[in-house]
């Protein structure tokens, strides 16, 4: 896990539930349990503040960090996506298509657009062509229009039948690999639950719970939530989601208690 990702996970879960703000010293104490050195914590928070994700205020010798409006929007949208229950989508057989190009000099913008299209549930059919069974063209258009150098076209189309649709889904998304990873993640959560209450305590509960969020958060980027007509039988997304929620919830009391102990100890120490 990168320090940057851990920071967002800690703010999205623990800091959010404990006043929404935290001093750098207390945050560094928490991040230390994720093997993030204090100097690295300081550098990461300084960078994130410069990027506009956090507001900083001084309180005596302490720097207090609070998510900015932009930061809260990111945390809220991420939480909503992670906690959204997978449901079988209905489908009318229409594919929604985005064709776009970005000059080589704007490679970073192209990478961001690809990530955004993946987040919206589009799959890459060809180097410049992305498709989705869900009508999210308006969201795609907004993302593309924000890049001045992007050139794009939007279409709605139908295929020649279900066999072609299944081939298209298998071409655009690694469904076999995704299913395997869902099953492995479900097994890990099942092991945590099988260990029973109290098996993980203190720092282990906090770090394990955060790592579960970190791992599960990758699935919404990879899983386009295809309609049932385009999925293999016994698709494991729902089982993984339910196992994640159960394991995540089972660690909450112990993890949150440990977080509060850390931050209260730092407060008692005068930082």
With tokens 């794009």, the residue in question is: 152
Fold of 94-158: Alpha-Beta Plaits (3.30.70)
Note the pTM of the prediction, 2 decimals: 0.83
Classified as helix, coil or strand, 141 is helix
Q: Look at residues 119, 178, 112, 182 and name the one whose alpha carbon lies nearest to residue 149.
A: 112
Answer yes or no: are the C-beta atoms of 49 and 56 closer than 8 Å.
Answer: yes
d(CA 125, CA 155): 14
Q: Hey, where are the domains in the chain?
A: 3-78, 94-158, 172-256
**215 token code pair:** 């791992």
> What's residue 267's pLDDT?
52
DSSP at 216 = H
With tokens 């949208």, the residue in question is: 77
**94 token code pair:** 């229409």
With tokens 């001084």, the residue in question is: 58
Classified as helix, coil or strand, 164 is helix
> What's residue 271's pLDDT?
44
Enumerate residue ranges in the chain where pLDDT < 70.
266-271
CATH code: domain 3-78 is 1.10.10.10
pLDDT tens digits for range 221-252:
788 889 989 998 899 999 999 999 999 999 99
Bridge partners (DSSP) of residue 156 are 96
CATH topology identical between 3-78 and 94-158:
no
Phi, psi (deg, nearest 5) at residue 134: -105, 140
> What's residue 58's pLDDT?
87
pLDDT tens digits for range 76-116:
988 888 888 887 778 889 999 999 999 999 999 999 999 99
d(CA 14, CA 16): 5
DSSP at 198 = T
Answer yes or no: are the C-beta atoms of 24 and 47 closer than 8 Å.
Answer: no
> What's residue 14's pLDDT?
96
Query: In terms of C-beta distances under 8 Å and separation of at least 24 residues, what long-range contacts does 73-76 make, across chains too?
Result: 74/8, 75/8, 75/11, 75/12, 75/16
> What's residue 77's pLDDT?
87
């Amino acid at each position: 896990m990168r320090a940057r990702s851990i920071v967002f996970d800690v703010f999205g879960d623990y800091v959010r539930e404990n006043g929404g703000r935290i001093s750098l010293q207390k945050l560094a104490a928490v991040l230390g349990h994720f093997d993030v050195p204090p100097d690295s914590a300081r550098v990461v928070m300084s960078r994130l503040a410069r990027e506009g994700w956090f507001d900083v205020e001084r309180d005596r010798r302490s720097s207090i960090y609070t998510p900015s409006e932009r930061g809260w929007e990111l945390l809220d949208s991420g939480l909503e996506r992670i906690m959204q229950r997978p449901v079988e989508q209905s489908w009318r057989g229409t594919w929604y298509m985005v064709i776009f190009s970005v000059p080589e000099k704007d490679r970073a913008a192209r990478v961001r657009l690809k990530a955004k299209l993946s987040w919206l549930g589009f799959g890459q059919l060809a180097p410049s062509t992305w498709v989705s069974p869900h009508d999210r063209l308006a969201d795609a258009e907004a993302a593309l229009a924000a890049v001045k150098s992007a050139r794009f076209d939007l279409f709605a189309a139908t295929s020649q039948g279900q066999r072609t649709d299944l081939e298209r889904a298998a071409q655009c998304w690694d469904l076999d690999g995704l299913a395997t990873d869902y099953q492995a993640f479900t097994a890990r959560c099942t092991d945590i639950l099988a260990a029973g209450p109290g098996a993980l305590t203190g720092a282990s509960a906090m770090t394990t719970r955060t790592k579960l969020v970190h791992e599960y958060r990758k699935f919404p980027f990879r899983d386009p939530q295809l309609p049932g007509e385009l999925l293999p039988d016994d698709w494991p997304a729902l089982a993984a989601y339910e196992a994640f929620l159960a394991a995540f919830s089972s660690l909450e009391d112990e993890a949150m208690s440990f977080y509060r102990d850390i931050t209260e100890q730092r407060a008692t120490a005068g930082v």
